[in-house]
Amino acid sequence: MSLNIFITGAAQGIGAATAQLFVKHGFKVGIYDKNIAQATTLAEQLGQNAHAGFLDVSDETSWKNALNDFIEWAGELNILINNAGILFSGAFENTALDQHLRTIDINVKGVLIGCHSAFEYLKKARFARIINLSSASAIYGQADLASYSASKFAVRGLTEALDVEWQKYGIRVLDVMPLFVQTAMVKDMDAASIQKIGVNLSPQDVAEQIFKLAKSPNHLLTPTHTPIGLKTKVLYQLSALSPQIINRLTNLYFSKRA
| DSSP H/E element including 52 | strand 50-54
CA dihedral 111, 113, 163, 74 (to 10 degrees): -90
DSSP letter string, 159-191: HHHHHHHGGGGTEEEEEEEE--BSSGGGTT---
Burial class (CB in 10 A: 0-12, 13-18, 19+), 241: exposed
Q: Residue 114's closest CA among 208, 211, 9, 218?
A: 9
Q: Catalytic site residue 169?
A: no
Q: Hey, what long-range contacts does 215-223 have (CB within 8 A, 24 or more apart)?
A: 218/127, 218/129, 218/170, 218/172, 222/172, 222/174, 223/174
Q: Which of the residues 140, 148, 169, 253 is marked catalytic?
A: 148
Distance, CA of 12 to CA of 183 (rounded, Å): 9
Active site positions, annotated: 148
